[in-house]
């Protein structure tokens, strides 16, 4: 890079504010190391987490806030929302209305009312909204997008996608013994975009209807205090008639896996087993055209984004680098920036929301609203149905289809005890260390 170009890049660094300083650490680290952005402000209501970020910010000009209202007034171009997964929408809307671009962690909204308001805020303000579904940018899923665009496997007919994460051993560190933590109160098909997202991003196809299935409750979720079903499944029909089976949740063995069948081939990543290459390796079987059975081609390789050196060490197979890189480059006007906009974010999430409505409706198929169409927004504008009492009003849904289970407070007290013990350990995880370093009294 020439000196002038380097100087311009430094001068034009995008100023970022980060809300939620636990998962937000990944985005803070991005800004510290990448050349195109800098952290201007960090906000977290938890004093220990904020204190730990302050300790890591020596020599940097970063302001610290413990509340969103003061934080959002800070001089910055964009905000990263890495707060609770069910509370992104209202902050995204406020930020865009105050002239800030938004990068939202998963999930985008928790109600249809929020979905309508989020879409309208993005349209009215014209600010950039980027949904941080990082799994789309993992090496093999991102290669699937490139190959699909090049018509390598033809038109999508069927896909399977899995995000299985058995979080039992880390549950104390990610819910801290809080009975009302969003992870304890999410329904089975809520956290759906790590699974379905990469298929939507690869194909650009809109989901039109869904049937949902709910995994049963068993000892594994009852003993950690999770009230929803063990896992969720969405059987999604896409606008071209293609069908996707998406599964996510806490089955015993972990799996991140994507497979797509097209009209002249199939591509998939490795299974989460030794020797397969997992999300770093793509397996491709295809013909030049449909029916060309004598010229079958089979390949497997480790695809490259082209920025591996910069992405090295970032979480989730380097994908945490790419989501931020594309967001910042989009703000800077780079035509190659590939973000997930507000409509696509909802194409990834609404199948999960409506799958739960299908479960509650005895397994009936549900139409998935397309909020690009202004004429249908009125129907959803006051729909607050969700499992969060703060947002639902009189449309509160049970967390489990057969009724929200009444879990004994002792379970949460035990989770809190395990969490406190983690905080005392010398080699406790990042969050535990943050709590240890910070001031006392966090509840
Ligand atoms: N994309 C991924 O791979 C990935 C991985 C982990 C978490 N996440 C997402 O990141 C987000 C955060 O998850 P987490 O694991 O950090 O745990 P979390 O949701 O428990 O933590 C959220 C943090 O935000 C802070 N916070 C919440 N509301 C606030 C407010 N109003 N004002 C100030 N601070 C507030 C909390 O104190 C906490 O530190 C969630 O949306 C989650 O879905 C994504």
Q: Which residues contact 149 (CB under 8 A, 6 or more apart)?
A: none
Looking at the structure, do residues 148 and 263 belong to the same domain, yes or no? yes
In a domain, 151, yes or no: yes
Is this prediction's pTM over 0.85?
Answer: yes
Domain of 186: which CATH number?
3.30.360.10
Q: How far is the CA of 86 from the centre of ligand 1 (A)?
A: 9
Looking at the structure, do residues 96 and 173 belong to the same domain, yes or no? no
Residue 48, ligand 1, Cβ within 6 A: no
Residue 83, ligand 1, Cβ within 6 A: yes
Residue 23, ligand 1, Cβ within 6 A: yes
Beta strand ranges found along 297-341 (DSSP E): 297-301
- What is the bridge-based pairing of β-strands 156-164 and 297-301? unpaired
Domain of 66: which CATH number?
3.40.50.720
pLDDT tens digit at each of 443 positions of the chain: 444 554 555 568 999 999 999 999 999 999 998 899 999 999 999 998 999 899 988 889 999 999 999 999 999 999 999 999 999 999 999 999 999 999 999 999 999 999 999 999 999 999 999 999 999 999 999 999 999 999 999 999 999 999 999 999 999 999 999 999 999 999 999 999 999 999 999 999 999 999 999 999 889 989 999 999 999 999 999 999 999 999 999 999 999 999 999 999 999 999 999 999 999 999 999 999 999 999 999 999 999 988 998 999 899 999 999 999 999 999 999 999 999 999 999 999 999 999 999 999 999 999 999 999 999 999 999 999 999 999 999 999 999 999 999 999 999 999 999 999 988 887 766 666 665 554 333 32
Residue 100, ligand 1, Cβ within 6 A: no
Q: Which residues contact 5 (CB under 8 A, 6 or more apart)?
A: none
Two tokens at 24?
A: 């937000």
Last residue of a domain, one of 134, 162, 193: 134
Last residue of a domain, one of 111, 134, 157: 134
Q: How far is the CA of 263 from the centre of ligand 1 (A)?
A: 40
Looking at the structure, do residues 359 and 274 belong to the same domain, yes or no? yes
Residue 68, ligand 1, Cβ within 6 A: yes
List the domain range (segments joined by +) for residue 226. Answer: 136-306+342-395
Helices assigned H by DSSP within 336-442: 342-360, 377-380, 389-392, 409-424, 430-437
Looking at the structure, do residues 182 and 296 belong to the same domain, yes or no? yes
Looking at the structure, do residues 275 and 182 belong to the same domain, yes or no? yes
Contact between 199 and 163 under an 8 Å Cβ cutoff? The reply is no
- Looking at the 3D structure of the chain, how many domains does it have? 2
Ligand 1: nearest atom to the Cα of 181 = 20
- Measured by CA distance, the residue closest to atom 19 of ligand 1 is 84
In a domain, 67, yes or no: yes
Looking at the structure, do residues 220 and 255 belong to the same domain, yes or no? yes
Q: How far is the CA of 378 from the centre of ligand 1 (A)?
A: 31
In a domain, 13, yes or no: yes
Looking at the structure, do residues 39 and 62 belong to the same domain, yes or no? yes
Q: How far is the CA of 90 from the centre of ligand 1 (A)?
A: 15
Rounded Cα–Cα distance for residues 6 and 10 (Å): 6
């Amino acid at each position: 890079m020439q000196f002038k170009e380097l100087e311009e890049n430094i001068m034009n660094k995008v100023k970022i504010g980060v809300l939620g300083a636990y998962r937000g650490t990944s985005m803070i680290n991005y800004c510290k190391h990448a050349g195109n952005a800098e952290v201007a402000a960090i906000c977290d209501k938890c004093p220990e987490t904020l204190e730990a970020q302050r300790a890591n910010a020596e020599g940097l000009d970063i302001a610290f806030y413990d509340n969103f209202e003061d934080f959002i007034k800070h001089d910055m171009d964009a905000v990263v929302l890495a707060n609770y997964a069910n509370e992104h929408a209202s902050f995204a809307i406020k930020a865009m209305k105050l002239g800030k671009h938004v990068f939202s962690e998963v999930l985008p909204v928790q109600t249809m009312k929020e979905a309508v308001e989020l879409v309208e805020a993005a349209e009215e303000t014209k600010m950039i909204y980027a949904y941080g579904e990082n799994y789309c940018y993992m090496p093999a899923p991102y290669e699937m997008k490139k190959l699909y665009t090049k018509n390598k496997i033809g038109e999508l007919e069927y896909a399977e996608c899995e995000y299985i994460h058995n979080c039992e051993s880390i549950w104390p560190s990610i819910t801290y013994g809080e009975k009302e933590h969003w992870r304890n109160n999410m329904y089975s098909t809520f956290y759906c975009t790590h699974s379905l997202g990469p298929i939507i991003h690869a194909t650009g196809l809109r989901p039109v209807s869904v049937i949902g299935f709910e995994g049963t409750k068993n000892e594994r979720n009852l003993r950690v205090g999770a009230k929803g079903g063990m896992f969720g499944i969405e059987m999604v029909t896409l606008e071209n008639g293609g069908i996707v089976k998406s599964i996510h949740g806490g089955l015993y063995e972990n799996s991140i896996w994507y497979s797509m069948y097209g009209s002249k081939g199939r591509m998939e990543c490795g299974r989460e087993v030794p020797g397969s290459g997992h999300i770093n390796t793509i397996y491709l079987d295809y013909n030049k055209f449909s029916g060309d059975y004598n010229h079958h081609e089979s390949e497997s390789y480790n695809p490259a984004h082209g920025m591996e050196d910069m992405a090295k060490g970032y979480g989730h197979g380097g994908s945490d680098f790419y989501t931020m890189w594309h967001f910042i480059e989009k703000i800077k006007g780079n035509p190659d920036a590939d973000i997930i906009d507000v409509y696509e974010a909802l194409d990834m999430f609404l199948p999960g929301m409506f799958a739960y409505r299908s479960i509650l409706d005895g397994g009936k198929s549900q139409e998935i609203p397309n909020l690009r169409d202004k004429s249908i927004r009125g129907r959803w504008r006051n729909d607050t149905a969700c499992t969060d009492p703060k947002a639902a009003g009189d449309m509160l849904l049970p967390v489990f289809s057969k009724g929200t289970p009444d879990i004994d407070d002792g379970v949460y007290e035990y989770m809190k005890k395990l969490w406190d013990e983690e905080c005392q350990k010398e080699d406790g995880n990042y969050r535990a260390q943050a709590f240890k370093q910070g001031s006392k009294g966090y509840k």
